[in-house]
C-alpha cells in the first residue's frame, strides 16, 4: 500500500543583577524585572540553550528563566501570562493554536535549532509468540526487532513529554493504531522497552539527546529510523550516537522557534533587544564551547509559516 504524504500541522538567565531562577512550578521569580523566558526542565534542552546565552550575554539584557516541563508547557505558560517569551516547537505551536486564541497570537522572534523524534527500541529485539497451532496449542516463538517507524503498526509504545502530542498526531494520520503508554521520564520509557511492555519509546529532544548520549554500549537499546514521508513543518534528517553504535539513522525533525506575546508597550523594545543579542552572539555560540544546537542555525530568519515579531520585520527593511 502506498504511504500517503503527511500534511502535518501539529506541528533564553539574562538576569538583572543579581541573577534569578524560577521555581519548577513554572512561576516566575518574584524579583524578576525583565522578560520572563519559558524554557524547560533545568539542565535539559531549552534550558541549556538559555544557560549558553547567560554566559555570552554579560547581563546586557534583563531576563529571568521560567522552568517548565518543555515545549508544550511553554505554550500554556505563555497563554496564561506566566512568561513573556519562550522556546517552542512549530508543530505544537500550530496544533495548540487551533483551540487557544492567546497561543494563536504569539509571534516568532527567531528560528532556532530543531528537535528530533527519537525512536528507542530493543537492540536485540524481543520474543513474541506466533499464532496458536490448531487454535489451542502454543504458537512458535520468534524474535522481533523494530528497525523503522513503519514496523510499529498496532504496537504498544511509550511516550515522553512532547512526543505524547506528536506521536498521537502522526498515528492519526498514518492509521497505525499504536497503543500509547504515557510516562513521565525517558528512564521510565526506556524501561518499558527493556521489559518488552513497549515495542518502542518515543522521546523528542535536540541533538544530541542527553539521556540517549549517556547510554552504555551494553544498554540493550538502539534507535529505529523514521521511514515515513513528511511535509511542513517537518523534515527528515540523519543523526548518529556513537555510544550505542547508531550511525546516520533517519529522524523526524521539527523546527524550534523563540516566540513572544504580542506586546504594545515597553516590552516591545525588550524583545527587540533580545533578538539583537542573538544576532550579535551567534558566531560566538557556534565557535565556543556551547550546545551543538547552535551550529544548526544558519539564520534566525529561517523560514517558518507563522507571523513574525514586528521588530524583526522592521529590522529587515
What pLDDT does 6 receive?
46
What gap in Å lies between CA 192 and CA 43, rounded to an integer? 24
Same structural domain, 156 and 235: yes
Angle at 269 between CA 75 and CA 293, to 5 degrees: 50
Read off the pLDDT of residues 21-77 as tens digits, 9 standing for 90 and up: 444 445 545 567 789 999 998 888 899 999 998 888 888 888 899 999 888 899 999
7 is a domain residue: no
Closest CA to 42 of 210, 180, 233: 210
10 is a domain residue: no
Residue 257 has pLDDT above 90, yes or no: yes
Average pLDDT for 239-250: 97
What pLDDT does 43 receive?
85
100 is a domain residue: yes
Same structural domain, 129 and 229: yes
* Residue % of the chain over a pLDDT of 90: 68
Single out the residue in 254, 270, 289 at which a domain terminates: 254
Same structural domain, 173 and 232: yes
For the chain, give percent helix, strand, coil, nearest 5: 30, 25, 40
CATH number, residue 166: 3.40.190.10
225 is a domain residue: yes
Read off the pLDDT of residues 193-224 as tens digits, 9 standing for 90 and up: 999 999 999 999 999 998 999 999 999 999 99
Closest CA to 252 of 182, 150, 125, 110: 150
Residue 135 has pLDDT above 80, yes or no: no
What gap in Å lies between CA 220 and CA 174, rounded to an integer? 28
Do residues 234 and 8 make contact, with C-beta atoms less than 8 angstroms apart? Answer: yes
Mean confidence (pLDDT) of the chain? 86
What pLDDT does 27 receive?
55
In the block, cell 502506498 appears at: 2
Full residue range of the structural domain in which residue 189 is found? 116-254
Single out the residue in 208, 224, 254 at which a domain terminates: 254
16 is a domain residue: no
What gap in Å lies between CA 193 and CA 129, rounded to an integer? 17
What pLDDT does 188 receive?
97
What pLDDT does 69 receive?
86
Same structural domain, 109 and 145: no
What pLDDT does 53 receive?
86
Read off the pLDDT of residues 151-162 as tens digits, 9 standing for 90 and up: 999 999 999 988
Single out the residue in 254, 270, 298 at which a domain terminates: 254
Angstrom distances, CA of residue 20 to CA of 67, 77, 194: 12, 18, 40
Read off the pLDDT of residues 278-299 as tens digits, 9 standing for 90 and up: 999 999 999 999 999 999 999 9
Total structural domains within the chain: 2
What gap in Å lies between CA 239 and CA 243, rounded to an integer? 13
Amino acid at each position: 500500500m502506498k504511504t500517503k504524504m503527511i500534511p502535518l500541522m501539529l506541528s533564553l538567565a539574562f538576569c538583572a543583577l543579581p541573577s534569578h531562577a524560577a521555581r519548577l512550578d513554572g512561576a516566575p521569580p518574584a524579583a524578576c524585572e525583565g522578560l520572563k523566558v519559558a524554557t524547560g526542565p533545568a539542565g535539559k534542552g531549552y534550558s541549556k540553550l538559555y544557560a549558553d546565552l547567560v554566559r555570552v550575554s554579560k547581563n546586557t539584557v534583563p531576563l529571568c528563566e521560567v522552568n517548565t516541563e518543555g515545549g508544550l508547557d511553554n505554550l500554556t505558560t505563555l497563554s496564561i501570562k506566566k512568561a513573556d517569551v519562550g522556546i517552542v516547537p512549530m508543530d505544537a505551536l500550530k496544533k495548540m493554536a487551533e483551540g487557544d486564541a492567546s497561543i494563536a497570537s504569539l509571534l516568532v522572534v527567531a528560528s532556532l535549532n530543531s528537535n528530533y523524534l527519537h525512536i528507542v527500541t530493543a537492540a536485540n529485539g524481543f520474543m513474541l509468540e506466533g499464532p496458536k497451532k490448531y487454535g489451542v496449542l502454543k504458537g512458535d516463538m520468534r524474535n522481533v526487532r523494530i528497525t523503522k517507524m513503519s514496523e510499529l503498526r498496532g504496537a504498544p509504545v511509550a511516550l515522553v513529554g512532547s512526543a505524547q502530542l506528536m506521536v498521537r498526531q502522526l498515528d492519526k494520520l498514518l492509521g497505525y493504531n499504536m497503543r500509547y503508554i504515557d510516562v513521565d521520564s525517558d528512564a521510565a520509557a526506556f524501561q518499558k522497552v527493556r521489559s518488552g511492555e513497549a515495542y518502542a519509546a518515543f522521546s523528542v529532544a535536540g541533538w544530541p539527546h542527553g539521556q540517549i548520549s549517556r547510554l552504555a554500549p551494553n544498554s540493550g537499546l538502539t534507535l529505529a529510523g523514521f521511514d515515513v514521508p513528511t511535509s511542513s513543518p517537518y523534515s527528515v534528517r540523519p543523526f548518529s550516537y556513537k555510544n550505542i553504535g547508531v550511525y546516520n539513522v533517519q529522524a523526524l525533525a521539527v523546527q524550534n522557534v523563540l516566540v513572544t506575546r504580542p506586546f504594545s508597550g515597553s516590552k516591545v523594545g525588550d524583545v527587540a533587544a533580545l533578538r539583537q543579542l542573538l544576532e550579535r552572539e551567534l558566531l560566538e555560540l557556534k565557535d565556543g564551547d556551547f550546545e551543538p544546537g547552535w551550529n544548526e542555525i544558519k539564520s534566525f530568519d529561517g523560514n517558518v509559516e507563522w507571523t513574525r515579531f514586528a521588530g524583526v520585520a522592521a529590522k529587515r527593511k
